[in-house]
Amino acid sequence: MSLAAALALSVALVSQGLGRIRQAEVELRGPLAALEVELPGQASTRLELGLAPGELRTVSVPVFAGVDGAELVLRELPEQEGSARWVGWTREGEAELAEHWRALPSGLRTRPAVARGDGVAGREPQPAALVFSAALLVLALALRRRPALACGVGVGGGVALVLWLASAAATTRELRVLEGEGDGPWLAWDSGFDSLVIPAALPLQVEVEPRSASVQAFGALSAAGVGELTLVARGALLRRASAVDPGPRRVSASVNGWGAFEEVWLRSGDGRWTAHGPWEAGAALPAGRPGDPPGALNPALPQGVTVLVARLAPGVFSAGAPAGRPVWLRWIGPEVGDSGLPR
């Protein structure tokens, strides 16, 4: 992709949560520390530039625009030194991405989001925090004959607990889910609560839930272009879809041709789930026992077909996901053989 695609990272989503990416071509002259692009009432962008005095760049800054012909407002930082001039809208890459998205199976495009819960992602109650709370209560009760000490322990422990939970709440959990259907194409959905780091490429689809959430985006331009963008939306789920090619990777009952799975669950066509534990690369499907996968990965999925849910071991196949982001696989296919997987 060109620099226009790289600067897709500097998008701020329209307040309704969904929109079309439109690329605004902008001519820049340094010195400029940053550029803010606003589509009044719809979207805004902030891009850190670091342009030296006299340096010239022409860039395409994508924004989420609801209508054609909208006028942009540009703000140069610092003001009255460098300059930024909006040339107009461009359409590079948009038609190809839209066509690719429409060509995907509808079931793949509309599959329920994997968000949070059951240890998958999101912010969840920490068992250690609950244990700490119980221990603090027991200690305070044990010291009830020494009110001053009990009060000090309670206050100190309470402050520590609040800081602990606040720190946990501020931690953003992100994950990638590889979505497949039969022998067809695959999608990679990256999602995160409150914020999401996305790579330098125009996405097939970007969503925010709830749609009323206000989303800000922050990126930086270097000599090599923009590496990534951080989207921020407090209390909202951010999702980004991209095409992914697993190559020759396949999975069947007789052999795991994907790579090492840390955990595997299989649902047969009659709706029964079995847990199979770890599944090593190249091995046959281990024996299973009744057990459900994490609830967030088991929403209203199609009935009467096989469903495979698995968590990939780190480093097996990230498909470009940032380091440390958990990668899950969710495959829906036909009912074939006793195991529900192709033999």
Token pair, residue 263, equals 């955990």
SS3 186: strand
* H/E element, 231: strand 228-244
CB 104 within 8 A of CB 111: no
Q: What is the pLDDT of residue 300?
A: 76
The alpha-helical segments, DSSP class H, found in the chain are 3-6, 94-103, 106-109, 127-142, 147-170
pTM of the model: 0.74
* Helix-then-strand count for the chain, H and E: 5, 16
Q: What is the pLDDT of residue 19?
A: 47
111: nearest Cα among 341, 331, 340: 331
121: nearest Cα among 169, 189, 180, 193: 193
Q: Scanning the structure block, which residue is given the tokens 């069947």?
A: 252
Q: What is the pLDDT of residue 69?
A: 57
* Residues recorded for the chain: 343
Q: How far apart are CA 228 and CA 47, in angstroms?
A: 11
Q: What is the pLDDT of residue 342?
A: 58
For 179, residues 6+ apart whose C-beta sits below 8 A from its C-beta are 108, 111, 186, 187, 188, 189, 330, 331
Judging by DSSP bridges, how do beta strands 73-77 and 261-267 pair with one another?
unpaired
For 213, residues 6+ apart whose C-beta sits below 8 A from its C-beta are 15, 17, 233, 234, 235, 236
Tens-place pLDDT, residues 180-211: 988 888 999 999 989 888 876 677 888 888 87
Label residue 156 exposed, middle or buried (CB < 10 Å: 0-12, 13-18, 19+). Answer: exposed
Q: What is the pLDDT of residue 61?
A: 75
For residue 304, give Cα distances in angstroms to 225, 268, 334, 336. 47, 8, 8, 11
Q: How far apart are CA 112 and CA 256, in angstroms?
A: 26
Tens place of pLDDT for every residue, the chain, 343 residues?
333 333 433 344 333 334 456 778 889 999 999 999 887 766 778 899 999 999 999 887 767 655 555 678 899 988 888 999 999 887 777 788 888 989 998 888 888 887 654 456 433 444 454 554 555 555 555 655 666 555 554 545 544 443 444 444 434 478 899 999 888 889 999 999 898 888 766 778 888 888 777 777 788 887 766 677 788 888 888 888 989 888 888 888 888 998 999 999 999 888 899 999 999 999 999 999 999 998 888 877 888 888 999 999 988 887 777 777 889 999 988 655 545 565 4
Q: How far apart are CA 341 and CA 285, in angstroms?
A: 9
CB 332 within 8 A of CB 306: yes
What letter would DSSP give residue 93?
T
